Amino acid sequence: MSRTGKVTAVVDNVLFAANSERGNLTLYVNYLSSSTANNSTKTFSDGEGLLAGSTINSGLLGNSTIQAGQTFAITLANNATSIGSAFTITEGVYFVRGQFVRVATETLILDQYSNTPNYRVGLFVNEEIITPDIDESLNDNSQGFNNYSAPGADRFRISVSLFKKSLDDFNDNNFVELASVSAGVLKSQKTTTDYSNLTDELARRTYAESGDYYVSPFDVSVKESLNDQLGNRGIFNVGQFTYGGSVPTDDLAVYQISPGKAFVRGYEIETISPTFLDVPKPRTTKTLENQAINYNTGPTLILNRVYGSP
C-alpha cells in the first residue's frame, strides 16, 4: 500500500539489483485498487513510501520482521514505475524424452521493463546422471545407515525449467516450445497434447471424410504499409520495421489476416492474433496501342419528347 495515494498492490515477483538491467531492486506487482481520494492515481508515485499490508517475516532464519502498516520500501525519486512482461507456467506433468516429467509452477521474466517482448518461450530440458557420490541416499542401506562400501545404481534424471530464446533461434535440441510472442502479442501457444502417431491417423481420417474446411474464416484486408499521417491508415510509421522485417514504403502493401481456425489435411490450424504479410505493389506497366477492346455502355434509353428541359 502506498503511504500517500493509498494505492494497493500485491507483490508477485522480486528482481534483485544485481540482476536488474537498471541496477535497481525491482518489485513486480499486480495493482488491486487505485487511490481512495478520486481514483485518479492508479500506480505508485515517485519517491513514495510503501507500507506492508500484513506482517512480513524475512531474513535467512525468518528472524527479521516488518509489522503491518510499517514502511518497507521507498520508490525511486524519478521514473519509479515501468511495465514489464513475464511468462508463467503452473504445476503439471509433461511427456518429455519418453518420460513423464513433473513441472513446478514457475515465472520467467521476459523483458524487465518493457511489455513488447519478442521471444520463443518454452521448457529447457536438462538431463543428468545422478551417482551415489552426488546423492548419498543412493547407497545401499545397512541397518538404517548408508553403506558406502555397497553403492547403489546410478539414476537418470530429467528436469525442466522455463527458458526464452530469440524468435530466429531454432536450435531446439534441449528445448520444448510452449508459446511464441512477437512485439508483445501472443502469436502461438501450445494448448493441446501431442499424441504423435495417433494424431496423424486421426488427421488422415478427418481429411478423407471432410476434406479441408474452416471453422472460423480467415478474413483478409489490404492495408497500406507506410502511414503517411494524412489518413491512408498505414500500419507502420517511419523508423519502424514491418513484421516481416522490411522497411515500410509506398511500394509495399500489407495483407492483414484475421484470427481464424481451419482444418488443413486433417490438422487443426488456428491463429489467435492478426497475421501481417508484406506484399510488393505492382509497379510494372505495359502500353498497348491500336487494340480493339469490348466497350459496354450499359442500358440505352430512347426518349420521344422531353418537357421542361432548358
β-pair type (155-165, 119-130):
antiparallel
Pairing of β 175-182 and β 119-130: antiparallel
**Is 6 in contact with 53 (CB distance < 8 Å)?**
no
pLDDT at position 197: 65
pLDDT at 22: 92
Half-sphere CA count of 292, side-chain side, radius 13 A: 0
| Confidence (pLDDT) at 5 | 64
Task: Write out the chain's pLDDT in tens, 310 residues.
Answer: 666 767 888 989 999 999 999 999 999 998 888 876 666 778 888 888 888 888 887 765 566 788 888 888 888 999 889 999 999 999 998 888 878 899 999 999 999 999 999 999 999 999 988 887 777 776 666 655 555 566 667 788 899 999 999 999 998 899 999 999 999 999 988 876 666 667 888 888 999 999 999 999 999 999 999 998 888 889 999 989 998 889 999 999 999 999 999 999 999 999 999 999 999 999 899 998 888 888 887 788 887 777 766 5
Residues 99 and 158: beta-carbon distance below 8 Å = yes
pLDDT value for 131: 81
Other Cβ atoms less than 10 A from the Cβ of 48: the count is: 22
pTM of the model as a whole: 0.60
pLDDT at 281: 92
Please list the alpha-helical segments (H only) found in the chain.
197-210
Alpha-carbon distance values, 60 to 25, 63, 64 (Å): 18, 8, 9
Task: Identify the pLDDT of residue 62.
Answer: 61
Q: What residue segments make up the domains of the chain, in order of their start? A: 8-74, 85-189, 197-280
pLDDT for residue 152: 66
